Structure 1
């Protein structure tokens, strides 16, 4: 296994683990927050999770740059890329703007549902990326 493959495997695993924790722990707690406490809890969640997102996503992007520059194309690599694109796309196109609206408008049920759906897509994408990375590095 090359260093780039090791980095891609490590960062897709970190991303999948992070996404699973958000899905299983952070978002259920956020969704269960009473409306009268929403503003403070949502602001604290956003403040705490932003540096973690920056580290995980930054490391994953860096490993992708390295992998794409040095690894041969393969079905596993393409699968990993598709999963990463799905996860990043769900975050950028839906989750982040929905968080912004939740911060402004409060816990409107349709916004909370939208956030949870985007999170499900993101977590599935992260899992797909990890599976693809495993296939890519053990081929």
Structure 2
């Protein structure tokens, strides 16, 4: 991997993003679902504090490397697939997942299962976007 090759860097960042999304989908959110009512608020607050920096550490480089890739390979199908996939993840995070977390933070026990189901669905969309982004990066590398 050389510095002037954005496709290789996109592959690294996109793979990290997909790994993160799969972990959240298959490990983190199921664990949140198992938190008992009496400790829910504290557990959810800890989750939010811990996950936010990771989201920033992934999304900022993802956006920057995608912009670099688009500048170097603007007509490549892989660039567009990666950009569409990453955009799906980022927009779903901002428009659905973040507001759902805000609602979960103060939701009564009776609403929590439905909100967690909504969050799981939103996360599957983010994971699909991350997979599409990685596929686009792989197309650029082939």
> TM class, shorter-chain normalised?
over 0.9
Distance in 2 (CA, whole Å) between partners of 1:120 and 1:102 is: 18
Unaligned runs of 5+ in 2: none
User: Segments of 4+ in structure 1 off by > 3 A?
Assistant: none
What is the aligned counterpart of 1:95 among 94, 97, 105? 97
Match of 1:77 in 2: 79
Does the CA-based 8 Å contact 1:14-1:56 persist in structure 2?
yes
Unaligned runs of 5+ in 1: none
Q: Secondary structure at the match of 2:132?
A: helix
Change in Cα spacing, 1:9 to 1:89, as seen in structure 2 (3 Å) is same
What is the aligned counterpart of 1:136 among 125, 136, 140? 140
Q: Secondary structure at the match of 2:75?
A: coil
Does 1:67 find its partner at 2:89? no
- TM-score by length of structure 1 reads 0.93
What is the aligned counterpart of 1:19 among 15, 18, 21? 21
Q: CA deviation at 1:136?
A: 1.6
RMSD of aligned residue pairs (Cα, Å): 1.4
Distance in 1 (CA, whole Å) between partners of 2:66 and 2:82 is: 10
Distance in 2 (CA, whole Å) between partners of 1:83 and 1:7 is: 16
Distance in 1 (CA, whole Å) between partners of 2:52 and 2:108 is: 19
Q: Secondary structure at the match of 1:133?
A: helix
Distance in 2 (CA, whole Å) between partners of 1:51 and 1:120 is: 21
Does the CA-based 8 Å contact 2:7-2:141 persist in structure 1?
yes
Match of 1:119 in 2: 123
Q: How many residues align?
A: 138
